[in-house]
Amino acid sequence: MTDLIQMIVSGIATGSSYALMGLAMVIIYKTSEVPNFAQGEMALISSFFAMMLLTSFNLNVYLAFSLAFLFAAVLGCFLEFAVLRRAKEPNVLGMIVITIGIEMVILGFVSWKFGAEQKTMPFPIDPYDSLFIGDIFLKKLDILTLVSALVLMVVLFVFFRFSKLGLAMKATQQNSVAARIVGVRTNRILMVTWGISSLVGAVAGLLISPTIMHPYMMWDPMLKGFAAAVMGGMTSLPGAVVAAYMLGIIENLFGGYISIEFKTVVAFVIIVAVLCFKPSGLFARHYVKKV
């Protein structure tokens, strides 16, 4: 019984990083209806930027992280303004290909600039420092990741539901032409959306980097975050978070009781199943457009 509880707790901890990446992807999709496959690499370069400030410039960790968050937000805005917005007559497929191109460019730059070997990120919390509750242990870094995911979900939910900017983002996603007619500056909204999404992704990257830091470290969290977003509903922030925790738990139980080698496959089996039986996701409403 203790092993089962430990696997569930570890699954929740793992799901927290998936939840942060899922939130980042949902933010962009809620506004543009385009999944951003460069999300992981945007978080990657922000994490390496923070490491550079800490190791090369000897900045205080809190100042370095604050500058990394600022860098992430500016990077997101820049990519939308300089790359995505320049696409002529874009369709969804074309935009997806552009995000994949951005992903490969950033990955190549990070590999060239910082090298492919494992790095060490200075962090206020030791990644292996744990708390014991009876026979169950929890890493303090996992607790911080869990709290960060839940706090960001609540903040973003309130932001989209009640703020003018959040409502403008929803209006842009539902009908960009009508939004422009009533005075919403849709281009500016899209740029801000990319900045916010990049900032949330940077939180995930900085919380993952103390444990593992190399140019490919965000591939697995990004893919699992995308799986969680699809499973929960690409327009539902709470859905993406709940699905991320479900995914983390299912993945851990599968690895513990069936096969550790095929543990990673579970996420993509879930994507296929959800898309076959409930294309809008488990927690999102299904809208039918009449033409």
Any idea where the domains of the chain sit in the sequence?
A: 2-277
**pLDDT value at position 268?**
79
Ordered alpha helix ranges (H), 88-185? 92-114, 140-162, 164-174, 176-181
**Model pTM score:** 0.92
Q: Which of the pair, 283 or 72, is modelled with greater confidence?
A: 72
Mean pLDDT within 148-167: 90
Kindly tell me if the per-residue pLDDT of 79 is higher than 90: yes
Query: Average of pLDDT values for 255-276?
Result: 79
**Average pLDDT for 106-116:** 94
* CB-count exposure of residue 70 (10 Å: 0-12, 13-18, 19+): middle
pLDDT at 290 over 60: no
The percentage of the chain sitting over the pLDDT mark of 90, rounded to a whole number, equals 45
Please report the pLDDT score of residue 291 as a whole number: 45
| Least confident range of 101-105, 106-110, 164-168 | 164-168
Across 52-60, average pLDDT: 92
Q: Which two tokens stand for residue 23?
A: 């939130």
The residues, any chain, with a CB within 8 Å of residue 128's CB and separated by 6 or more, are: 139
For residue range 185-213, what is the model confidence (pLDDT) as tens digits? Answer: 888 999 999 999 999 999 999 999 999 89
pLDDT given at position 286:
56
In DSSP notation, 35-48 reads --TTHHHHHHHHHH
Q: What is the pLDDT of residue 276?
A: 83
Structure confidence by residue, pLDDT tens digits, 215-241: 999 999 998 999 899 888 888 888 899
The lowest-confidence range among 1-5, 97-101, 113-117, 143-147 is: 1-5
pLDDT for the residue numbered 236: 86
Structural fold of domain 2-277: ABC transporter involved in vitamin B12 uptake, BtuC (1.10.3470)
> Can you give the pLDDT at residue 222?
92
Q: Cβ(22)–Cβ(226) under 8 Å?
A: yes
Instruction: Give the Cα separation of 237 and 152 in Å (integer).
Output: 10
Report pLDDT digits (tens) over 122-147.
Answer: 888 888 888 887 778 888 899 999 99
**Highest mean pLDDT of the ranges 25-29, 64-68, 127-131:** 64-68
Per-residue pLDDT, 284: 66
* Residue 32 pLDDT > 60: yes
